[in-house]
Amino acid sequence: MPGVSVVTDTTHYLSPELVARNEIHEVSLYVSWPDGQQRESDMETFTPFYERLRASKELPTTSQPSVGDFLAVYEPLLAAGDDIISIHLSGGISGTVGSARQAAEQCPPGRVRVIDSATACGGLGLMAMAAAAGAREGIGMEAIVARVQETRDRLTLWFAIDTLEFLVRGGRIGKAQGMVGSALKIKPILSVESDIMPIERVRTSSRAFARLAEMLRTLKDDGVDGWVVQHIQAQEQARKLVDVGREIFGTEPVFVSEIGPVIGAHVGPGLLGAGGVPRGLLG
| CATH number assigned to the domain comprising residue 107 | 3.40.50.10170
Helix then strand count (H, E) for the chain reads: 10, 13
Verify that 19 and 133 share a domain, yes or no: yes
Using CB atoms within 10 A of its CB, is residue 181 exposed (0-12), middle (13-18) or buried (19+)? exposed
CA angle 118, 122, 127 (to 5 degrees): 60
> Domain boundary at 118, 137, 153, which?
153
Same domain, 212 and 177: yes
Confirm if 279 and 253 have CB atoms less than 8 A apart.
no
Torsion angles phi and psi, residue 9, rounded to 5? -115, 175
Let me know whether 186 and 101 are in one domain. no
CA distance 6 to 133: 10
Confidence (pLDDT) at 169: 64
Q: Which of 128, 153, 178 is the last residue of a domain?
A: 153
Q: How many residues does the chain have?
A: 283
Do 121 and 163 sit in the same domain of this protein? no
Residues 172 and 227 in one domain: yes
Domain count, the chain: 2
Q: Is 65 found in the same domain as 47?
A: yes
DSSP labels, 225-236: -EEEEEESS-HH
CA neighbor of 11 nearest in space, from 26, 32, 22: 26
Measured distance CA(62)–CA(269) in Å, rounded = 16
- Expressed as residue numbers, the domain containing 119 is 4-153
Q: 149 with 15, same domain?
A: yes
Based on the domain organization, do 148 and 160 belong to the same domain? Answer: no
Residues 261 and 175 in one domain: yes
> Cβ neighbours of residue 110 under 8 Å, at least 6 residues apart?
83
Q: pTM score, two decimals?
A: 0.93
- Choose the final residue of a domain: 119, 153, 187: 153
Are residues 107 and 173 part of one domain? no
Per-residue pLDDT of the chain (283 residues; tens, 9 = 90+): 679 999 999 999 999 999 999 999 999 999 999 999 999 999 999 999 999 999 998 889 999 999 999 999 999 999 999 999 999 999 999 999 999 999 999 999 999 999 999 999 999 999 999 999 999 999 999 999 999 999 999 999 999 998 777 777 655 444 444 444 444 567 889 998 888 888 888 888 999 999 999 999 999 999 999 999 999 999 999 999 999 999 999 999 999 999 999 999 998 999 999 999 999 999 8
**For residue 63, what pLDDT is reported?**
97
Task: Tell me: do 71 and 126 sit in the same domain.
Answer: yes
Assign 22 to helix, strand or coil: coil
Report the CATH number at residue 195: 3.30.1180.10
Report which residue type is found at 179: M
Question: E strand or H helix at 139, and its extent?
Answer: none
Same domain (yes/no): 10, 140: yes
Residue whose C-alpha is closest to residue 71's, from 6, 136, 27 = 27
The answer to whether 166 touches 259, Cβ cutoff 8 Å, is no
